[in-house]
């Protein structure tokens, strides 16, 4: 009998998984004031809204904060910038961003660059049409 089918091993894996998920969920439910200094530092853009965030989102953000120290300095900066941008979105904008990400994830890998190019072109066209005409110098 292999370890993966051994009933004792299966129970241990199940209990370990349950214990880890309970720890993660209890961490996600913590109010801002109960987060440690490292977590508050990484998640600072969410300081004023943390306690109002859905528990699932807090859980995901805590996971990000957990892996933050492992990142190279330039990736840490990029992540800080992304967290700052994300914190400024409304819940509706975040939901829309998640929908777009899920849709993009379903695009076959070999077609993704084509989709990226198309999106950039659409964004550029929208930005160009939103720029007010310049007035001649006086």
pLDDT tens track for 44-61: 999 999 999 999 999 999
Q: Please state, in angstroms and rounded to a whole number, the distance separating the CA atoms of residues 58 and 19.
A: 19
Give the confidence band of 133 by pLDDT, cuts at 50, 70, 90: low
Average pLDDT, the chain: 83
Asked whether the whole model's pTM tops 0.75, one would answer no
Question: Residue ranges per domain, the chain?
Answer: 29-88, 91-128
* Average of per-residue pLDDT across 63-84: 96
Asked if the model's pLDDT at residue 28 lies above 50, the reply is no
pLDDT, tens digit, for every residue of 84-132? 999 999 999 999 999 999 998 999 989 989 988 998 999 899 888 876 6
The pLDDT score that the predictor gives to residue 127 is 87
Q: Which helix (DSSP H) or strand (DSSP E) does residue 135 occupy?
A: none
The pLDDT of residue 60: 92
Query: What pLDDT, on a 0 to 100 scale, did the predictor assign at position 99?
Result: 94
Cα 99 to chain centroid, rounded: 13
Q: Among the residues of the chain, which ranges form H helices? A: 7-28, 37-42, 55-67, 73-87, 91-105, 112-130
């Amino acid at each position: 009998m292999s370890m993966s089918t051994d009933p004792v091993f299966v129970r241990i894996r199940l209990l370990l998984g349950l214990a880890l998920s309970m720890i993660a969920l209890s961490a996600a439910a913590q109010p801002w004031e109960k987060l440690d200094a490292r977590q508050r530092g990484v998640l600072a853009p969410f300081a004023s809204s943390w306690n109002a965030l859905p528990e699932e989102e807090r859980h995901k953000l805590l996971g990000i904060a957990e892996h933050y120290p492992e990142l190279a300095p330039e990736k840490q900066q990029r992540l800080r910038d992304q967290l700052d941008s994300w914190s400024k979105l409304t819940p509706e904008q975040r939901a829309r961003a998640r929908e777009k990400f899920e849709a993009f994830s379903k695009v076959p890998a070999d077609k993704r660059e084509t989709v990226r190019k198309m999106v950039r072109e659409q964004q550029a066209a929208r930005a160009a049409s939103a720029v007010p005409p310049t007035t001649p110098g006086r």
